[in-house]
Structure 1
């Protein structure tokens, strides 16, 4: 499973993409993935919001995941 990172999420992780290692059977849903990421990158927990897209579509925390999915972390957007 590939995770694409944008904006502040890329700065926090230090890479523009991550791969979930094979054998992470606990990552069944988007919510599981968020928890997995937060345990490895605690700064992600400080974001006011973090949207997740699965295969180019916004996903809720209960959306199932498979190893073939492409994930994008979409940080909060500021502007004015």
Structure 2
């Protein structure tokens, strides 16, 4: 699974992207976020506030109950505003 981090989340995690292999019980975006938060203090800090994190699965916005699969690309980014 390819995981991408953008903007402030990239700064907090310390990498722009990583390849992860979560256990098979990780089936949703919410499961993945919980699992990633346990991987390091940096991940925990970056993903701690759900209001400040948006997620896309294979370039489509996704909610916490959206399914994830081993070959997916998951992107984490802060809320985007227009103007």
What TM-score comes out, normalization by structure 1 length?
0.83
1:10 aligns with 2:13: no
The aligned counterpart of 2:32 is 33
Moved over 6 A (4+): none
What TM-score comes out, normalization by structure 2 length?
0.80
The aligned counterpart of 1:43 is 45
Give ranges in structure 1 of 5+ residues lacking alignment: none
Q: Classify the secondary structure of the residue corresponding to 1:62.
A: coil
- Alpha-carbon RMSD across the aligned residues, in angstroms, is 2.0
How many corresponding residue pairs? 79
